[in-house]
Structure 1
């Protein structure tokens, strides 16, 4: 296959993301990306050491367009809410990348910029030291957990429907809650979850 004379990391990430969006994360291989770029597989190793490095480039590509600017003079909770919603939107555009965002969040420069911005907001809200560490991890844990549940664990509602059909004698609250959950949109669930998490965040006295 003919090979381009030179490639950029953006070229590689774009090709890898195209494979993921079209065929799923399981289809991401060095060979598949090389085919997307119309080049020999071994030639790809001139640009990246392995698939892991390629995955980090994909996460950067997904996260880099995320708007980190925040309105001045607003409550810190409102700013955190805005950041959480923006990240969900960015990842939702490429849902198959959720495991990569989770796996490489400490290697992706774009993701670390996002985390730095959340830490700045928490600092402005009065968090410091251990309290800031715990608050930041609580926020990220909620966000990543929600994204995994939204795009992977929910099985498009099949799991919830199955629980709603279980025995009310053995699992009365589970059945009732699952039935109620079927009427709540994913957007409302995320919005409500963000409100609960942020309502519970309070800087130390």
Structure 2
């Protein structure tokens, strides 16, 4: 918490009640030309274009045409700003149809929505690696996911664990997918890696790997790979 009593991280962490249930404090005098939503949207645009490292209070202030100090009534530190950013983009995770009752199929739809969402905002997997305080948009999507899991008969804690497991899988896969896309932009590296694996497979010391590499390939498009992994994960979930 900052010295003036506003929500911050500090030793006590972010106060979710202050952050999400109480509106940003109004300021006396002339109404500012920006809002918390505008600050958050500017930070999201920066992260989408340049990554999380580009998101500083100074850069965001410049984007909204404000002084740095004037931002602190709305986002007293970067950690709070990240909370706002995560929930802001979670508003894109809208689901119009109710669950079908086929919880495995519905949960796969949830995961595919998350993947598309994280690919639109490549900074999200990294932002989600630390604990986030769910805001209203995040809670709305969680509510849908819990409704999807109702037919499983799992207790509340187990449902939350399943949702966390799926989200962690999607975040990890998308992070890997983004990294692989970077590698694919360097054909020389891909060729070198292929030569290396061929040499390892031929050295006689790795028969299991050699057998795997000699097997017919599977479709390697990002979509196909994601769906294979997702099917293994969700089809193998035990609800007993």
TM-score range, shorter chain: 0.7 to 0.9
Higher fraction of helix: 1
C-alpha separation in 1, matches of 2:90 and 2:207: 42
CA deviations on 1:29-50 (whole Å, 9 max, x unpaired) are: 0000001011111111122111
Residues 114 and 167 of structure 2 are in contact (CA less than 8 Å); yes or no, is this contact kept in structure 1?
Answer: no
Superposed displacement of residue 4, structure 1: 7.2
In structure 2, the CA distance between the partners of 1:106 and 1:194, relative to structure 1 (3 Å rule), is farther
TM-score of the two chains, using structure 1 as the length reference: 0.81
**Residues 94-173 of structure 1 correspond to what in structure 2 (within 5 A)?**
94-128=121-155, 131-152=158-179, 155-157=182-184, 164=194, 165-166=196-197, 167-168=200-201, 169=203, 170-171=205-206, 173=208
Partner of 2:234: 198
Structure-2 change in CA distance of 1:46 and 1:106 (3 Å):
closer
Indicate yes or no: 2:99 matched with 1:59.
Answer: no
Q: Deviations over 1:67-118 (max 9, x none)?
A: 2333454411111111111111112111123211333544444233323322
Q: Which runs of 5+ in 2 are unaligned?
A: 1-29
Summarize the Cα distance change of 1:130–1:4 in structure 2 as closer, same or farther, 3 Å threshold: closer
Q: CA RMSD in A?
A: 3.0
Unaligned runs of 5+ in 1: none
Computing the radius of gyration over CA atoms, which structure comes out larger, 1 or 2? 2
Q: 2:220 aligns with which of 184, 195, 198?
A: 184
2:123 alignment partner, SS class: helix
Aligned residues: 202
User: Which has the larger displacement, 31-40 or 171-180?
Assistant: 171-180
The 1:131–1:30 alpha-carbon spacing in structure 2 relative to 1, beyond 3 Å, is closer
Determine if the alignment matches structure 1 residue 80 to structure 2 residue 107. Answer: yes
Contact 1:98–1:148 (CA under 8 A) maintained in structure 2 = yes
State the Cα distance separating 1:202 from its structure 2 match.
3.1
User: What TM-score, normalized to structure 2?
Assistant: 0.71
